[in-house]
């Protein structure tokens, strides 16, 4: 990526004072309270879907918004983790927490392989390489003996948490999913604000200077790629238990596009943007589900409008108005 | 009947021909991507959708207006290229001062819109487009049967590819183009209208995709998703070849088509991933691509 080009990464998020800003604590707490009440007001499965995609988009945002690396193949991690978790829970009969852990590990391992190859190219090529490998994972999922081909893995049992607590009830499962997703989001927040995160932003903004300062840039890139893949995998594995299904949709390129759209719409390089983007897109899909291809057209239109008029995203614009990093 | 490595020659040459056909499309499409990337510095994600548009517009021309195949081969690239000119003027031209990512996002969004619109109007089941009467039938070469239309696809692709190569590498207009790729400001200072050249280049790249679409219409079924998966393979082709060289894009396209065809003969299970595996190997040993310049 050349130095002279302009990006809309929220620069406000970079000028962070020492310690966690108070308004971040307030937002996280408010969000948690809202999400604790939500399943008693709204349909729990719907909110769980938003939560899983919020984590997925935040994982991509860690890579794209803070590492400056566009992966157009994140569905590979989301989907393969979802297959592994579904297989572990259904065929091996493992408990849900172990299934999710195995899915996450599988995604991290896949991220290590794809990441190590993809970071050998920069910018636009990086995006094409990740997309191409994700398509390869799609073909493997289509042909592999344990993925169920076009049918996917259906009727995945939700099982008993730690072998004790049954997750068959939507609301019980909801609080487990909330715990996982919120844990993931806080982990991402921690990574962004760690010294590691500062180096990442330095590489994003000026790779050549970071190299000359002595940072082993490729190690940082690979590390953040693996973290992002693992978190995306955690989201995918959780989603497999929520919907009791792992299917080809989860590994297809359109899924990679969707999560990029969520991040772009919410605001790349913001902390809360991907959450907002995920909520908007999932809600939209729900309302337009019966209109067939119009969902695709609408998603395309949001892409075009976001790029032409709205590059900072919803939360990016809010942050500029409030003059606070969000 | 003689056999090569235990494979009957009909199967071997049949798959080689299929590989050559696929290679023709890889070459045409990756060439268009390379031409666009050279001057505009964006990856045209809607290339697959524009290829699909080419096939559909040819089908619509035949069905609604009675335009025959040979007319479509000329008119359709011009028409679809014109939509490309419009897209460049109205949208892409606003993004040149931004990071390359935004060009990718924009053209991806456009691809979704185009595919969605066609899916809404025509459904997902394919529409038939018959082979022009002059090219029906085939030749018996003794060791295999060669359908005339398939031979024509390879020939037409070769002619257009090398025509493009000649225009860019050997003519004055091409020299301006190459100069503008290196240093647009300086070329502008010599009195050449660089923005117009950029617009026309995008239009030309899109027209190439549409031309490939018309060629494809009689052999693949015309459906809204025909470009979506193909374009990802073409991206892999572009990563393998590198976008620095026109000739490189052509050679890589044909070469990989043939390799894919051979994989179908010797190890059919791996044929859908063969190109991606080659991409991984190239990334390991020659990260800039076979014909790429390190940027």
Share of chain B above pLDDT 90, in %: 65
Contact call for B94 and A308, based on CB within 8 A: yes
Q: What is the pLDDT of residue A4?
A: 43
Question: A70 to chain B: nearest residue by CA?
Answer: B101
Rounded to two decimals, what is the model's pTM? 0.91
Q: What is the pLDDT of residue B142?
A: 77
Q: Of A120, A296, A306, A312, which to mutate for an interface test with B (greatest number of B Cβ within 10 Å)?
A: A296
Q: What is the pLDDT of residue A69?
A: 94
Looking at the complex, report in whole angstroms how far the Cα of residue A6 sits from the nearest Cα belonging to chain B: 5
Which is it for strands A160-161 and A165-166: parallel, antiparallel or unpaired? antiparallel
Share of chain A above pLDDT 90, in %: 77
B191-213 burial code (b ≥16 CB/10 A, e <16): eeebeebbbbbbbbbbbbbbbbb
User: Encoding tokens for residue A227?
Assistant: 């973290």
Whether the per-residue pLDDT at B255 is higher than 70: the answer is yes
Q: What is the pLDDT of residue A21?
A: 87
Asked if the C-beta of B86 comes within 8 angstroms of chain A's C-beta atoms, the answer is no
Size of interface A-B (CB pairs under 8 A): 135
When the pLDDT of each residue in chain A is averaged and rounded to a whole number, the result is 91
Q: What tens digit of pLDDT does each residue of B173-195 get?
A: 999 998 998 898 999 999 999 99
Q: What tens digit of pLDDT does each residue of A242-265 get?
A: 999 999 999 999 999 999 999 999
Question: A68 to chain B: nearest residue by CA?
Answer: B101
A contacts of B106 (beta carbons < 8 Å): 303-304, 307-308
Bridge partner list, B222: B127
Asked if the C-beta of B173 comes within 8 angstroms of chain A's C-beta atoms, the answer is no
Contact call for B232 and A7, based on CB within 8 A: no
With H, G, I as helix, E, B as strand and everything else as coil, classify residue A6: strand
Q: What tens digit of pLDDT does each residue of A98-144 get?
A: 999 999 999 999 999 999 999 998 888 899 999 999 999 999 999 88
Across B230-252, average pLDDT: 89
Whether the per-residue pLDDT at A302 is higher than 90: the answer is yes
Whether the per-residue pLDDT at B271 is higher than 50: the answer is yes
Q: Of B42, B52, B103, B112, which to mutate for an interface test with A (greatest number of A Cβ within 10 Å)?
A: B112
- Higher pLDDT: B232 or A11? It is B232
Whether the per-residue pLDDT at A168 is higher than 50: the answer is yes
Q: What is the pLDDT of residue A307?
A: 94
Q: What is the pLDDT of residue A245?
A: 93
Looking at the complex, report in whole angstroms how far the Cα of residue B70 sits from the nearest Cα belonging to chain A: 32
Contact call for A124 and B100, based on CB within 8 A: yes
Across A167-177, average pLDDT: 90
Q: What is the pLDDT of residue A317?
A: 93
pLDDT tier at B264, thresholds 50, 70, 90? confident
- The interface pTM score, or ipTM, of the predicted complex is 0.90
Looking at the complex, report in whole angstroms how far the Cα of residue A82 sits from the nearest Cα belonging to chain B: 21
Question: B90 to chain A: nearest residue by CA?
Answer: A308
- Higher pLDDT: B245 or B154? It is B154
Q: What is the pLDDT of residue A6?
A: 54
- As for how many domains chain B has, the answer is 1
Across B131-137, average pLDDT: 87
Neighbours of B166 (CB within 10 A): 12
Q: What is the pLDDT of residue B138?
A: 85
Question: B282 to chain A: nearest residue by CA?
Answer: A117
Contact call for B100 and A143, based on CB within 8 A: no
Q: Which residues contact A195 (CB under 8 A, 6 or more apart)?
A: none
Supply the Cα-derived Rg of chain B in whole angstroms. Answer: 19
Whether the per-residue pLDDT at B261 is higher than 70: the answer is yes
Whether the per-residue pLDDT at A18 is higher than 80: the answer is no
Whether the per-residue pLDDT at A8 is higher than 80: the answer is no
**CATH code for the domain in which residue B85 is found:** 1.10.3470
When the pLDDT of each residue in chain B is averaged and rounded to a whole number, the result is 90
Q: What is the pLDDT of residue A151?
A: 86
User: Encoding tokens for residue B53?
Assistant: 């548009």
Q: What tens digit of pLDDT does each residue of B50-93 get?
A: 999 999 999 999 999 999 999 999 999 999 999 999 999 999 99
Neighbours of B18 (CB within 10 A): 18
Question: A140 to chain B: nearest residue by CA?
Answer: B273
State how far the Cα of A71 lies from the Cα of A53, in Å rounded to an integer: 16
Q: What is the pLDDT of residue A63?
A: 96
Asked if the C-beta of B67 comes within 8 angstroms of chain A's C-beta atoms, the answer is no
Helix axes B274-285, B246-266, angle to 10 degrees: 130
Contact call for B276 and A123, based on CB within 8 A: no
Contact call for A135 and B229, based on CB within 8 A: yes
Closest Cα to residue A299, out of B105, B88, B80, B51? B105
The residue ranges of every structural domain in chain A are: 41-252
**Pick from B113, B238, B276: which is nearest to A133 by CB?**
B276
Whether the per-residue pLDDT at A293 is higher than 90: the answer is no
Across A204-220, average pLDDT: 94
Question: Which structural domain, as residue segments, surrounds residue B64?
Answer: 9-111+144-285
With H, G, I as helix, E, B as strand and everything else as coil, classify residue A325: coil
A contacts of B283 (beta carbons < 8 Å): 117-118, 120-121, 129
Contact call for B98 and A306, based on CB within 8 A: no
Whether the per-residue pLDDT at A67 is higher than 90: the answer is yes
Asked if the C-beta of B94 comes within 8 angstroms of chain A's C-beta atoms, the answer is yes
Question: B235 to chain A: nearest residue by CA?
Answer: A128
B contacts of A5 (beta carbons < 8 Å): 97-100
Across B34-50, average pLDDT: 92
Q: What is the pLDDT of residue B1?
A: 45
Cα–chain center distance at B61:
21
Whether the per-residue pLDDT at A1 is higher than 60: the answer is no
Bridge partner list, A161: A165
Q: What is the pLDDT of residue A176?
A: 94
Contact call for residues B41 and B207 (beta carbons, < 8 A)? no
Contact call for A297 and B91, based on CB within 8 A: no
Q: What is the pLDDT of residue A9?
A: 63
Least confident window among A8-12, A107-111, A183-187, A294-298: A8-12
**Pick from B94, B110, B272: which is nearest to A139 by CB?**
B272
Whether the per-residue pLDDT at A82 is higher than 90: the answer is yes
- Higher pLDDT: B1 or A250? It is A250
Cα B211 to Cα A53, B45, B215, B227, distances in angstroms: 39, 17, 6, 13
Neighbours of A222 (CB within 10 A): 17
């Amino acid at each position: 990526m050349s130095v002279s080009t302009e990006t809309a990464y929220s620069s406000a998020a970079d000028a962070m004072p020492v310690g966690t800003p108070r308004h971040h604590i307030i937002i996280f707490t408010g969000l948690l309270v809202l999400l604790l009440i939500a399943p008693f007001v709204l349909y729990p499965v719907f909110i769980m879907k938003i939560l899983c995609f919020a984590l997925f988009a935040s994982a991509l945002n860690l890579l794209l918004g803070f590492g400056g690396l566009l992966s157009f193949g994140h569905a590979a991690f989301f989907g393969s983790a979802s297959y592994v978790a579904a297989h572990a829970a259904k065929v091996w009969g493992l408990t849900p927490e172990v299934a999710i852990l195995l899915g996450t590990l599988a995604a991290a391992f896949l991220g290590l392989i794809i990441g190590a190859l993809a970071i050998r190219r920069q910018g636009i090529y990086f995006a094409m390489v990740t997309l191409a490998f994700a398509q390869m994972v799609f073909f493997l999922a289509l042909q592999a003996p344990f993925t169920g081909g076009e049918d996917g893995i259906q009727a995945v049992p939700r099982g008993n948490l730690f072998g004790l607590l049954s997750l068959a009830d939507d609301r019980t499962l909801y609080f487990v999913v909330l715990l996982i997703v919120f844990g993931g989001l806080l982990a991402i927040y921690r990574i962004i604000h760690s010294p590691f995160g500062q180096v990442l932003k330095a590489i994003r903004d000026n790779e050549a200077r970071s190299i000359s300062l002595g940072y082993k840039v490729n190690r940082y890139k690979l590390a953040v790629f693996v973290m992002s893949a693992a978190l995306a995998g955690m989201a995918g594995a959780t989603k497999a238990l929520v919907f009791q299904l792992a299917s080809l949709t989860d590994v297809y390129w359109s899924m990679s596009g969707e999560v990029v759209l969520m991040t772009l719409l919410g605001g790349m390089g913001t902390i809360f943007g991907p959450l907002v983007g995920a909520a908007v897109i999932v809600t939209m899909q729900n309302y337009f589900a019966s209109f067939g291809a119009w969902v695709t057209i609408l998603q395309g239109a949001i892409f075009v409008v976001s790029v032409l008029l709205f590059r900072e995203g919803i939360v990016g614009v809010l942050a500029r108005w409030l003059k606070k990093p969000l | 009947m003689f056999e090569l490595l235990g494979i009957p020659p009909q199967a071997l040459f049949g798959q080689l021909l299929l590989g050559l056909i696929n290679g023709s499309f890889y070459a045409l499409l990756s060439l268009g991507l390379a031409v666009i990337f050279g001057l505009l510095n964006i990856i045209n994600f809607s290339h697959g959708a524009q290829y699909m548009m080419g096939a559909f517009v040819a089908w619509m021309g035949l069905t609604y207006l009675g335009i025959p195949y040979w007319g479509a081969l000329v008119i359709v690239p011009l028409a679809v290229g014109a939509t490309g000119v419009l897209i460049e003027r109205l949208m892409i031209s606003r993004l040149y001062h931004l990071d390359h990512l935004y060009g990718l996002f924009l053209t991806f969004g456009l691809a979704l819109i185009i595919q969605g619109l066609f899916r809404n109007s025509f459904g997902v089941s394919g529409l038939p487009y018959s082979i022009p009467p002059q090219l029906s039938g085939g030749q018996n070469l003794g060791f295999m049967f060669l359908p005339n239309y398939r031979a024509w696809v390879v020939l037409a692709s070769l002619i257009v590819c090398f025509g493009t190569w000649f225009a860019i590498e050997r003519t004055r207009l091409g020299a301006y183009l190459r100069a503008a790729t290196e240093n647009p400001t300086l070329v502008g200072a010599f009195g050449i209208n660089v923005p117009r050249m950029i617009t026309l280049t995008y239009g030309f790249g899109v027209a190439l995709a549409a031309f490939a679409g018309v060629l494809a219409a009689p052999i693949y079924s015309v459906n809204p998703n025909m470009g979506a998966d193909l374009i990802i393979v073409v991206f892999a082709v572009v990563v393998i070849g590198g976008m620095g060289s026109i000739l490189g894009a052509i050679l890589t396209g044909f070469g990989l088509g043939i390799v894919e065809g051979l994989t179908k003969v010797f190890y059919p299970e791996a044929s859908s991933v063969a190109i991606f595996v080659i991409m991984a190997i190239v990334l390991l040993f020659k990260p800039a691509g076979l014909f790429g310049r390190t940027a």
